[in-house]
Structure 1
């Protein structure tokens, strides 16, 4: 791995036979090795990463010596974009929500396609996103900002109960919870902010009530839509199904294609497209979550980057490599794939990921040969788990607070349900 220090100007890799892609890197929906694998024979990747961030540094440290990493620690935005401009890149991308602003700045300086700065603001700011969607007539969802404890009562008066408290900017359901009383709201807000190293702004928004009859109580009451946008034209790539959330809003698994009644895929795609247009999205891969409610499909949120985990399940079910598609799109080398909306000739199997996450706090890994037991469940192809006896559950850490992932596939949804039930039974005896 070649690390370019932040105080020396890089030389443009003009002699490189492949176009250069700048990856503004932070922990997110794609790993450095996954990016390099997808980029093979497509482009030369230059990682712009803050090596002062322990997680990013650990990820990038595992790259081969031939990889190029620019340490962005301590750089101002102006310094960052000037360094990036020296590479003569053909594209820029990020897989991390908190780096969308940096990637937009690099794209603007280098004249590359990406979300513009105004679009990034409504993508990373949940309050602004709700306001933009309401202003465009797409969906009105009551949402209020909370900057201090004094804001809690007025916010709750607007949203009513129950309500959802979450960071104004964030991902992975970190510090996100449902509150059912004013006392619970005050307690949770104090818990989230007491030890915060930097002042955090939260939002309180109305809870979107579930309609479990749409897809059945065994399955999650929401889906995500994966799209690729080029020059403002939206191309649907897939609709991803979900397993039910764990307390309070932790995702427990994905599967592709989604299990939906006739006509519902078209409804959620239409809602998603209205949202993307309302937010001004003209370039890039998007990941939009939509919930089924008694009032019909409702938007949870729009993300301006590749969704976590979805590239794997889509590739194994339909052969569509969404990570590769995202790289090609960033480079301007884009051919829209056929959308994956249901099982059929183009998508002959259901692929899934099941997250090994505890049902509640205070739990620790139990005994037994977990990996061997799970591997024996019909439909399971791979178990990637790290059993640490010192590990303890913490719901505040959101989706990432898990001990591993189960990968598998099934011929249909009945078979998928049988497999998931087999995993459930084994995991019920694992947590102590």
Structure 2
């Protein structure tokens, strides 16, 4: 823990630090500012990652570039921050490290790797006696194939150790597919520009997959922000996200999923901040796919506020800036209230080519549907559109909410019919 020789002059307003505010991290500055707080950005790499759009630094007081523990901590300490939070996966370990060093609320660095590396994550659960997949990691495709043949009934799952958004995830039904998947992953780079020098193979978890999103405050109060059921389509060796459907808190299997997640949080020592878990309800009970110690990548604050009684970004900011208020509202283990039905649709395409333009007329037609809260193209003119194999290659995201699930589904079917017309290709 850092002990500065001279007292730090507090900033006039509370200050939060966001590490790598790419993607979903963009919602944290506004959440802090709504509470009268400021934010500083910590860039964990010398240059911004080239694989994702750079963070918008305009809402931040400053951008501090990580250049070593002591020097960077000294710069951050000048702002007397109340918290250090990850803006995406690459920010998890630096946030753990600097929060610990500066004596701020956090999860500590002892199990940081288990919160990022998917092999270490599942091994931590196994050590705690928690139901989870069988697995092996290796740099040798032959060893991966041998394990699949010997240890697990097909199918098996082959994937990178620390990527996200279903990047490089393959469902393999025979030895040939396992070898091809392992070779594909090994030597490639994940979406965070990390070289995949090893590959992970796991037993296939049969069942329905769910999302469970939570926030934990400094006093340990755990609030479930939402439980969603994944609906996917299967294409070859890929299971592709189609939509997330919000569940009512008293529906099955919400209580069982949440109880299981509480054991996962303890095993991984996620005791403060946000977490986004993906869990499959197998015939033997819940089993973790993976968990991110950060916000849900599909977060859209206005949409989540419309569907439930609070979005992750604002609740996390409240836990940091006004911990006493958070503790009063979320003492112990609490559950969200469902206000309206909610669906997040992940558009799929079989098209391939360079986007010449977005057809604003078609996009406006989608946006005008009664249950559509927001429709967001995820490619822009000049980008290459490719057939959808994962969340990264989904070209359109649409948020739907309303009082009647049938109305959402009717609009969903209309969107599916229009989705490819949004993009004009060269």
**Cα deviation, residue 25, structure 1:** 1.6
The alignment's C-alpha RMSD in Å is 3.2
- Cα distance in 2 for partners of 1:139, 1:261 equals 23
- Cα distance in 1 for partners of 2:54, 2:183 equals 33
- Cα distance in 1 for partners of 2:51, 2:353 equals 28
- Cα distance in 2 for partners of 1:275, 1:261 equals 21
Tell me the residue number matched to 1:349: 340
Residue 93 (structure 2) pairs with residue 105 (structure 1): no
Tell me the residue number matched to 2:403: 411
User: Relative to structure 1, is the Cα distance of residues 42 and 295 closer, same or farther in structure 2, using a 3 angstrom cutoff?
Assistant: same
Tell me the residue number matched to 2:3: none
Tell me the residue number matched to 1:178: 171
Tell me the residue number matched to 2:22: 27
Secondary structure of residue in 1 paired with 2:417: helix
Tell me the residue number matched to 1:298: 287
Q: Residue by residue, what CA displacement relative to the aligned partner does 1:346-378 show, whole Å, maximum 9, x if unpaired? A: 5331233322332x5747779964313323433
Structure 2: gaps (5+ residues): 1-5
Aligned pairs for 1:101-250 within 5 A:
101-156=93-148, 157-196=150-189, 198-210=195-207, 221-230=208-217, 231-245=219-233, 247=235, 248-250=238-240
Residue 84 (structure 2) pairs with residue 92 (structure 1): yes
- Cα distance in 1 for partners of 2:242, 2:295 equals 18
Q: Residue by residue, what CA displacement relative to the aligned partner does 1:84-117 show, whole Å, maximum 9, x if unpaired? A: 2333222111122222111111011100111111
Counterpart contact for 1:146–1:201, Cα < 8 Å: yes
- Cα distance in 1 for partners of 2:250, 2:69 equals 47
Structure 1: gaps (5+ residues): 1-10, 211-220
Mean Cα deviation higher: 324-333 or 386-395: 386-395
Counterpart contact for 1:351–1:409, Cα < 8 Å: yes
Normalising by structure 1, what TM-score?
0.82
User: Relative to structure 1, is the Cα distance of residues 234 and 365 closer, same or farther in structure 2, using a 3 angstrom cutoff?
Assistant: same
**Greater strand proportion:** 2
User: Relative to structure 1, is the Cα distance of residues 283 and 53 closer, same or farther in structure 2, using a 3 angstrom cutoff?
Assistant: same
**Segments of 4+ in structure 1 off by > 6 A?**
363-368, 428-432
- Cα distance in 2 for partners of 1:329, 1:86 equals 22
- Residues paired across the two proteins, number: 401
Counterpart contact for 1:93–1:327, Cα < 8 Å: no
Within the candidate set 241, 252, 255, 1:251 is matched to 241
Counterpart contact for 1:22–1:91, Cα < 8 Å: yes
**Cα deviation, residue 234, structure 1:** 3.0
